[in-house]
C-alpha cells in the first residue's frame, strides 16, 4: 500500500502525516507513506484544499485533517478493495 500526504508542509499537513503513520503502525499494515510537498505533483490529484490523503493512487480525503478513526476507515476500505 502506498499512502501519500498532499500538502506544502503546513501544520495540518504534518499532523495528517503523523496520524497516518500512527494508524498504519497500530493496524500493522505494510505501507509506504510519502509526504508530497511539490505543488505540481499535488495538482496531479483532484485536490482543492490541502491536506490531502491519497491511498494507492486514489484521493480519498482532502480539506482538513481527518480523525484517526476516519483514516482507519479509509485504509480498511482500501485493503478490502473498495
Tell me which residues are annotated as active site: 10, 13
Q: How many CB atoms lie within 10 A of CB 14?
A: 15
Strand locations in the chain (E):
2-6, 32-36, 52-55, 58-62
Smallest CA-to-CA distance from 77 within 32, 29, 43, 44 is with 29
Residue for cell digits 495540518?
Answer: 12
Amino acid at each position: 500500500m502506498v499512502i501519500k500526504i498532499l500538502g506544502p508542509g503546513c501544520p495540518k499537513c504534518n499532523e495528517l502525516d503523523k496520524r497516518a503513520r500512527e494508524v498504519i503502525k497500530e493496524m500493522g499494515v505494510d505501507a509506504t507513506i510519502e509526504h508530497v510537498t511539490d505543488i505540481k505533483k499535488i495538482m496531479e490529484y483532484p485536490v482543492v484544499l490541502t491536506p490531502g490523503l491519497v491511498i494507492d493512487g486514489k484521493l480519498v480525503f482532502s480539506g482538513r485533517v481527518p480523525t484517526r478513526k476516519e483514516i482507519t476507515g479509509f485504509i480498511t476500505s482500501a485493503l478490502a478493495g473498495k
